[in-house]
Amino acid sequence: MGLEAPDDAGVYRLSDDLALVQSVDLITPIVDDPFTFGRIAAANALSDIWAMGGTPLTALNIICFPENRFPDAILQETLQGGLALLNEAGCTLIGGHSVENDEFTYGLAVTGRVNPQRFLTARGAQPGEKLIVTKALGTGIVALAARGDLAPEEARAAAVSSMTATNRQAGEIMLRHSATACTDITGFGLIGHADEMIGPDPIALHLQAGRVPVLTGTVELTRMGLVPATLYSNRNHYSGRVTIVDEVDPWLADILFDPQTSGGLLFSVPADEAEPCLAALRDAGLESGAIVGEIRARERDETEIIVHP
């Protein structure tokens, strides 16, 4: 798996039963605390490996740091946060690279392993299957409000808790329940990454907006108009591929386009595996997991994604 498809990572076969899965991801600070920022950036980078059905093995730090603006302690705490998260995830830090830059940016290049006969891609879902998400939406909206000191503390705490949680358990659980396709929800929002699941086959994703989990405080902030510009960019970009039924509340439609940082997994499973998979997510403490829609054969002149109330 290389440049030919919009997937989360590349896959390079080493043998009949072993392949490398590799990805790189960087972000700018989304919280004030550097240690927490490091944890979020590491969780965000590792997520691509789990989305492909792989297991992270090693990571390399990549950091751009404005030495003339921030003390070295900020850099040290960020790297310590990233290392702490990697240790929790069972991934080994083996090096990295830093450059002086005007904008503070941190992320990692991650290498994992996967069976080349069993790895997942964003495409592969079939009509009749169900769609599951594993984390609540709203990190982009809450982060914007927090920068203006307008986000309630409860909303900030919920967003940080979500962004620092890895997708390790979710990735393991989806594999046990015969997942057929997967991607993680990041900068393009739920709608944008759902669109990546549409391949050459004539399928449509039918989403139930009312079932989509939303972070504490996100609804109120959205109704106040506190949404990032990227949300509107996402909506404009994907508008021709999405039909939003009139009965869907406008604020909820906006949240579906919200750019996420270290978001959850979005994956498809056979219909008879959906409820057992959801129960397993809940048993693992992933309370935001939800069945949010299904795959259907696409009708003539129908858009790829249809959002229902």
123 occurs within a structural domain: no
Question: How would residue 285 be classed by pLDDT, with cut points 50, 70 and 90?
Answer: very high
Q: Note the pLDDT tens digit of each residue in 48-67.
A: 999 999 999 999 999 999 99
Check residue 301 and give its pLDDT: 87
Calculate mean pLDDT across residues 189-197. Answer: 96
Q: With 90 as the cut, is the pLDDT of residue 182 above it?
A: yes
Question: Pick from 169, 133, 118, 128: which is nearest to 280 by CA?
Answer: 169
If one counts every other C-beta atom within 10 angstroms of the C-beta of residue 256, the result is 26
Do residue 74 and residue 134 come from a single domain?
no
Count: domains in the chain: 2
pLDDT bucket at 200, cuts 50 / 70 / 90:
confident
Whole-angstrom Cα distance, residue 163 to residue 42?
10
Residues 260 and 295 both lie in one domain: yes
Residues 196 and 265 in one domain: yes
- The confidence score (pLDDT) of residue 2 equals 77
pLDDT tens-digit readout, 230-284: 999 999 999 999 999 999 999 999 999 999 999 999 999 999 999 999 999 999 9
| Residue 25, token pair as written in the block | 């991801």
Specify if 5 maps to a domain: no
Q: What is the pLDDT of residues 101-158, one digit of tens each?
A: 999 999 999 999 999 999 999 999 999 999 999 999 999 999 999 999 999 999 999 9
**Rounded (10°) CA dihedral 31, 236, 124, 137:** 30
Q: Are residues 108 and 160 in the same domain?
A: no
> Are 46 and 147 members of one domain?
no
Say if residue 95 is in the same domain as residue 140: no
Percent of the chain with pLDDT over 90: 96
189: left (phi over 0), alpha (psi -120 to 50) or beta: left
91 & 196 share domain: no
Is the domain of 108 the same as that of 212?
no
| Boundary-marking domain end, from 73, 90, 114 | 114
Instruction: Say whether both 304 and 155 belong to one domain.
Output: yes
- For the entire predicted model, the pTM comes to 0.96
Query: Where in the sequence is the domain holding 165, given as residue range(s)?
Result: 130-308
